[in-house]
């Protein structure tokens, strides 16, 4: 492995940029481009999930659940080897750090608490804020770096003396939704070298440079935990408790395997069909009563019980440090890959926001994030607290 270049006094000079190398193609090409630009860089691999430690915590809190495996650790070791191979290929220093305890306390405990409350959290948003652009950034600075770089599909710019977060050029891969919790300090210290590229070009550059990750499949699933059966995984920490599935008019139409495991708008896994006196249309989750352990469903993908036009959030985060105004118009997304929707935003005294959409929105889900945009600029966002969906308004009557 190439050593860090010494300064005139013979001391090793720290790299100017630390790249978060994940063992995937995006971070690999991020490193490649910075190297080609003549930057002084090093790679840092983050291990943020430790299966044995996680199961030890689960055993203490809930009782060890059957079926737990160390497969995630195997994948982490494979990713580590790939990241090391890329750094070796590019001739840059390689570092590895275990941030599993930070991930557990900063991300995963919140993740479990939200599910226990019947909400559907987005761990990728919190992971970016607490791990990739906090713990990782702190470690990079401890190594003497001025900036960090990651393989996110987003861009950083400046406007009126403030740093701004912009969508990635590739609209199919844009990750600004997950980065909306970043602020001025993080953006000032962050580079997104592939944010201006389409994914196909990233793959081409990796193959051209003969990087070992050029054809590696993109990772999916929960941030740093990976691809696995979600219900089995969550069941290791929140034991399943079967209960009734009711139609919105109160008829029992089936049984669920655990109310925590379902989210609004979900169709898969309900196993409801052939209900006497009901049409053959598919059923969708429209609400949950955690206290009674009841799951509510209705028929039709655009059931009126899934639609809302108004939401209230938790205190919002603004990339610029403050909201654009106490009341303003913009576009918003309430889930990743959703099309932009026109809305009106009003800032409340406690920092939360009320959002009113021009068109009814389907399955706006408490616990998820509403993220605001003006053109290509991501303004910020907030966790959704409640909506005016009919199920929420009438839940006490059901």
Which strands form 283-289's sheet, in the order they lie side by side?
252-256, 243-247, 294-299, 283-289
Compute the Cα dihedral for 36, 37, 39, 45 and give only its sign.
negative
In the predicted model, is pLDDT for residue 160 greater than 70?
Answer: yes
- 0.85 cut: is pTM over it? yes
State the pLDDT at residue 236. 86
pLDDT tens figures, 126-149: 999 999 999 999 999 999 999 999
> Among residues of the chain, what percentage have pLDDT more than 70?
88
Of 248, 274, 299, the residue at which a domain comes to its end is: 299
* DSSP 3-state of 266: coil
Q: Is residue 172 part of a domain?
A: yes
Phi and psi at 353, nearest 5°, equal -130, 150
Active site (annotated) includes residue 343: no
One domain, residues 129 and 205: yes
In the predicted model, is pLDDT for residue 3 greater than 50?
Answer: no
State the pLDDT at residue 248. 93
Q: Is residue 12 part of a domain?
A: no
Of 262, 284, 299, the residue at which a domain comes to its end is: 299
Band (pLDDT 50/70/90 cuts) for residue 301 is very high
In this structure, how many other beta carbons lie within 10 angstroms of the beta carbon of residue 308? 22
Catalytic pick among 127, 330, 343, 378 = 127
In the predicted model, is pLDDT for residue 9 greater than 90?
Answer: no
Q: What angle do CA 131, 133, 137 make, to 5 degrees?
A: 95
One domain, residues 319 and 214: no
| Mean pLDDT of the region 189-211 | 98
One domain, residues 374 and 245: no
Q: What would the two tokens of residue 322 be? A: 């403050």
pLDDT, averaged across the chain:
89
| Mean pLDDT of the region 331-346 | 96
One domain, residues 116 and 258: no
Active site (annotated) includes residue 223: yes
State the pLDDT at residue 57. 62
State the pLDDT at residue 232. 82
One domain, residues 66 and 34: yes
pLDDT, greater one: 253 or 233 = 253
Catalytic pick among 87, 223, 330, 378 = 223
One domain, residues 222 and 273: no
If DSSP states are collapsed to H, E and C, what string results for 120-152? CCCHHHHHHHHHHHHHHHHHHHHCCCCEEECCC
Band (pLDDT 50/70/90 cuts) for residue 55 is low
pLDDT tens figures, 172-195: 999 999 999 999 999 999 999 999
Q: Is residue 286 part of a domain?
A: yes
In this structure, how many other beta carbons lie within 10 angstroms of the beta carbon of residue 322? 10
Burial class (CB in 10 A: 0-12, 13-18, 19+), 171: exposed
Q: Is residue 217 part of a domain?
A: yes
Among 190, 209, 170, which Cα is nearest to 25's?
209
State the pLDDT at residue 282. 92
One domain, residues 24 and 117: yes
State the pLDDT at residue 351. 98
Among 272, 355, 284, which Cα is nearest to 313's?
355
State the pLDDT at residue 240. 84
One domain, residues 49 and 196: yes
One domain, residues 347 and 310: yes
In the predicted model, is pLDDT for residue 215 greater than 90?
Answer: yes
> Among residues of the chain, what percentage have pLDDT more than 90?
76
pLDDT, greater one: 263 or 276 = 263
Pairing status of strand 317-318 against strand 377-387: antiparallel
Q: Is residue 154 part of a domain?
A: yes
Q: For residue 368, what is the DSSP state? A: B
One domain, residues 162 and 185: yes
- What CATH number corresponds to the domain at position 366? 2.40.30.10
Are the C-beta atoms of 158 and 35 separated by less than 8 Å? no
In the predicted model, is pLDDT for residue 395 greater than 80?
Answer: no
Least confident of 67-76, 113-122, 162-171: 67-76
One domain, residues 263 and 182: no
In the predicted model, is pLDDT for residue 125 greater than 90?
Answer: yes
State the pLDDT at residue 223. 62
Q: Is residue 76 part of a domain?
A: yes
Of 203, 232, 261, the residue at which a domain comes to its end is: 232
Band (pLDDT 50/70/90 cuts) for residue 18 is very high
pLDDT, greater one: 225 or 105 = 105
Q: Which helix (H) or strand (E) holds 355?
A: strand 353-362
Give long-range contacts, CB 8 A cutoff, 24+ apart: 306-309. 306/264, 306/265, 306/362, 306/363, 306/389, 306/391, 307/360, 307/361, 307/362, 307/389, 307/390, 308/360, 308/361, 308/364, 308/387, 308/388, 308/389, 308/392, 309/356, 309/357, 309/359, 309/360, 309/361, 309/388
In the predicted model, is pLDDT for residue 92 greater than 50?
Answer: yes
Band (pLDDT 50/70/90 cuts) for residue 207 is very high
Q: Is residue 291 part of a domain?
A: yes
Q: Which helix (H) or strand (E) holds 288?
A: strand 283-289
One domain, residues 42 and 167: yes
Cα end-to-end distance, the chain, whole Å: 64
- What CATH number corresponds to the domain at position 275? 2.30.30.280
Q: Is residue 11 part of a domain?
A: no
In the predicted model, is pLDDT for residue 222 greater than 90?
Answer: no
Count: domains in the chain = 3
Band (pLDDT 50/70/90 cuts) for residue 1 is very low
Q: Which domain holds residue 35?
A: 17-232
């Amino acid at each position: 492995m190439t050593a860090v270049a010494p300064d005139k006094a013979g001391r090793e000079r720290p790299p100017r940029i630390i790249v978060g190398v994940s063992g995937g193609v995006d971070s690999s090409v991020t490193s490649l481009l910075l190297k080609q630009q003549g930057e002084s860089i090093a790679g840092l691999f983050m291990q943020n999930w430790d299966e044995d430690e996680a199961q030890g915590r689960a055993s203490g809190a809930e009782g060890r659940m059957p079926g737990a495996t160390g497969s995630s650790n195997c994948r982490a070791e494979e990713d580590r080897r790939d990241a090391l191979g890329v750094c070796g290929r590019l001739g840059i220093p390689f570092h590895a750090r275990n941030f599993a305890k930070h991930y557990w306390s900063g991300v995963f405990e919140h993740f479990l608490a939200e599910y226990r409350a019947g909400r559907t959290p987005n761990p990728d948003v919190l992971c970016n804020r607490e791990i990739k652009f906090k713990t990782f950034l702190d470690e990079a600075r401890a190594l003497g770096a001025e900036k960090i770089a990651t393989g996110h599909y987003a861009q950083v710019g400046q406007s009126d003396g403030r740093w701004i977060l912009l969508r990635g050029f590739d609209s199919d891969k844009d990750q600004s939704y997950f980065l909306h919790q970043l602020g001025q300090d993080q953006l000032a210290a962050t580079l997104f070298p592939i944010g201006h590229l389409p994914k196909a070009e990233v793959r081409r550059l990796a193959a051209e440079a003969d990087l070992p990750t050029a054809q590696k499949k993109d990772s999916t699933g929960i941030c740093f935990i990976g691809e696995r059966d979600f219900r089995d995984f969550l069941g290791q920490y929140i034991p399943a408790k079967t209960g009734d599935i009711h139609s919105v008019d109160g008829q029992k139409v089936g049984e669920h395997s655990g109310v925590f495991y379902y989210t609004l708008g979900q169709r898969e896994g309900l196993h409801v069909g052939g209900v006497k006196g009901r049409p053959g249309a598919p059923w969708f989750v429209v609400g949950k009563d955690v206290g009674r352990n009841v799951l509510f469903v209705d028929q039709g993908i655009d059931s009126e019980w899934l639609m809302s036009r108004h939401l209230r959030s938790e205190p919002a985060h603004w990339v610029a440090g403050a909201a654009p105004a106490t009341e303003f118009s913009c576009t918003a997304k309430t889930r990743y890959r959703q099309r932009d929707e026109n809305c009106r935003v009003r800032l409340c005294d406690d920092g939360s926001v009320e959002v009113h959409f021009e068109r009814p929105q389907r399955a706006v889900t408490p616990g998820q994030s509403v993220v605001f945009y003006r053109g290509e600029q991501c303004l910020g966002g907030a966790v959704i607290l409640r909506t005016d969906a009919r199920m929420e308004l009438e839940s006490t009557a059901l």
